[in-house]
Every structure is written in structure tokens, then in C-alpha cells.
Structure 1
Amino acid sequence: MRSIIIAALTVVFTAGIAQAQTPDSSFRDCDDCPEMVVIPAGSFMMGADKNLEDASDFETPRHRVTIARPFAIGKYEVTQAEWMAVMGGNPSKFRGRLRPVEQVSWDDAQDFIRRLNAKTGKTYRLPTEAEWEYAARAGTTTAYSFGDDRSKLGQYAWFAGNSGKETHPVGQLQANRFGLYDMDGNVLEWVEDCWHDNYTGAPTDGSAWQGRSCLRVNRGGSWYYIPSVFRSANRYRDNSGTRGNDLGFRLARTLP
């Protein structure tokens, strides 16, 4: 496994805005484990400003979140090959070993994680909603992770305008500034959190916002969606047992 040099990962603050340097450390815990990228600690503004973006109340109030420790997140969405290596079968509609696994619920993702942790002895998990948005923005403060010009979306995401109504192998389009692929588009990605109708009272430390019984959040848009929903602050929710051909996930991992 490639050495992880956490001390080399820094976030430079300019005028109170986190300008994240591109991480240069990635690793795999086994030959058929997902490739993970180390994301530096830092601070960012989560959510949307309704006065500046085509935002819903679900994305407000905009608030500062500080992630105190580096963490790792999947360079790609979990592929069908990675799923089969752990689970055996393949539930996906759009078959291809390097396409993202889909037709998996939040509960299914948790089962995969339990088995992968048992296999590797590591602490994989779903990213929290705050970690996901922090990783997706990669230091940007614009509506989209690549800026405010939505005409560039096709360079970064498989969406209704370029997908041909199906998923595509991961990593074919441009990565964001953290070196992460398909953070927008291809498949929606489950995160750990319970759904809340706005961010009033949300954690500010990057932890998951839980509840006794809840819908679960998913992020990122999919091959099915139009450009306006690919803003970094946009969010969705589904029952934890919901499966769909545009629902997948990306792993996170706690670092020592």
C-alpha cells in the first residue's frame, strides 16, 4: 500500500475561504479494493445562498463546516467489479465491470461496507453529507464544482444531455481539483446522513446528522438528470431500502 503522508496535505486559507491543494496521495487496501484519495482537513461553506443560486430551502442556511482531520474518499464510484469481489452477484441494470454498481439501496451499501471491513480490517463507511460536499467542491465556492458556467457540465459529468440514458465506466471524464471522478453524474451517491428539511441545527464538524428513523440523503445527480440539479449544494433523499438504476455510492474511510 502506498504510504500516506498526511502532514503534506494542507489547506491554505485566503480571505477566509479554503483554497484546497490537490491531494497527491492515494492507496488501495487490497488488489480489488476501491482506490482511495486522501482529502485534507479544512473549512468550507456548506449549502447555498438563495439570493445567488437557484436553490431550495433544503439547501439553507449556508453555514461553515470545519473538518478537523484528513479522511479518505473513493477516487471513483464503487464499480461492479468491486461490488462482485465482496458480494458475489451483480444487481446492476447497466452491466460492465468498470461501470458504477447501481440498483443498490443504502441498506445494501451498509452490507457491502460490513463485509469489506471484515475482509480488510479497515474502517470503510459512507461519507457524511458534509464530507461529500467538501470533497465535491474541492476548494471551490461556485455553484458547480467547475465554476458557474453550466455549459461545461459535460466535461465532468454523465447527465441527461450526454449519457445516452445509461451509466458509463468510471473515470472517463475530467476529475475535480481533488482528483475525484464522477462526483457529479453517472449515479447518485448515498451518504451516511439522515434527511432534514434544512440545515438549521446541522453539525458543523463534518459528522453525520443522524435521527431515530429517517430517510437517507443521496448526492451528485445521475445520468438521468438535467444540468440545473448538478450544483454542489443540491441534495436528494430516499428510503434506506430504495433501489434504482441511478443509485450507487462512493466509499469513505477513516484514517488512523
Structure 2
Amino acid sequence: MPTEAKWEYETRGGLAGKGYPWGDSVDSNKAYYDGCVEEPRAVGIYAAKGYGLYGMAGNVYEWWADWYDENYYSNLPVKNPPGSGPDSSRVLRGGSWNYPTNDLRVATGLNSSPTYKYSYYGFRCASGSH
């Protein structure tokens, strides 16, 4: 699984400073969120964003390799941050089909125990090659 920093970089897709992977406004034609569907959907329904990735906001919260750190941005180096240290919870990002619009924001995340299983949690595999 990728780190939280890698996910944020890839999700922004070159749109530095924007709130969502596609810009600054919520768009119901770009993500599943806020109960608009009753369960997770297949990835690839909506167009790819920035760097060619699909489904980076909404549908399911995605687990990341990092342990949760509430001071994530202030505790890590700016270049190639390695992720936070061990704790009892891991980072999830991206929002979900049954979470509100604010959770779709690129900089928004939550934390949960890796032992919890919900239909609104998922994961994304990443390869080292491009």
C-alpha cells in the first residue's frame, strides 16, 4: 500500500492547492458520496483524474501504509515523507459513498483500527513502476 503522502500527491494529479481531485467544487458527477448509492461501486465509472488514476475520491475510504499521526503535516519532512510511526490506528483517505462531501477533500482523512471492517473501507494496491 502507498503512503499517505504518495496518495495525496497522486490524488491531486497536478492540481496543487485544490480541494478535490478535479478542482475546488463538489461535483456529483465525479464521485460517490453522502449516501447517493447504497453500497460501493466498481472503480472506473467516472473519468480518470490528473495522473490517470480512477476513483480517488468517494466510493470507499482507502487504507494507507501510514499509522495515524494527528500532526502529520508538521512532523514529517517536506521531501519524500516516510509516513508516521506505529500507533493503534491507520490512516484512511478519500471519503466514502456514505460520508459527507467534506470527506472527499484531498487533505481530509480519518483514522481507524486496522481490525475494523466496513463496507465503506477499502484499499488500493500500488506498484513501484510507472
TM over 0.5: yes
Task: Give the structure with the larger helix fraction.
Answer: 1
1:189 pairs, out of 62, 70, 83, with: 62
Q: 1:229 to 1:212 in 2, by over 3 A?
A: closer
Q: Identity of counterpart residues, as a percentage?
A: 36
Q: For structure 2, list consecutive stretches of 5 or more residues without a partner in the other structure.
A: none
Residue-pair matches, total:
128
Partners of 2:11 and 2:56 within 8 A in 1 = yes
* Alignment-derived partner of residue 29 in structure 2: 155
Q: Which amino acid aligns with 1:149?
A: S
Higher-Rg structure is 1
* Alignment-derived partner of residue 224 in structure 1: 98
Q: Does 1:132 align with 2:43?
A: no
Q: Which amino acid aligns with 1:159?
A: Y
Larger deviation: 194-203 or 240-249?
194-203
Partners of 1:191 and 1:218 within 8 A in 2 = yes
* Alignment-derived partner of residue 169 in structure 1: 42
Q: Which amino acid aligns with 1:246?
A: Y
Task: Give the structure with the larger strand fraction.
Answer: 1
User: So what's the TM-score if we normalise by structure 2?
Assistant: 0.89
User: So what's the TM-score if we normalise by structure 1?
Assistant: 0.47
- 1: CA distance, partners of 2:35 / 2:105: 16
- 1: CA distance, partners of 2:87 / 2:43: 33
RMSD across aligned positions (CA): 1.7
Q: For structure 1, list consecutive stretches of 5 or more residues without a partner in the other structure.
A: 1-125
Q: Which amino acid aligns with 1:203?
A: P
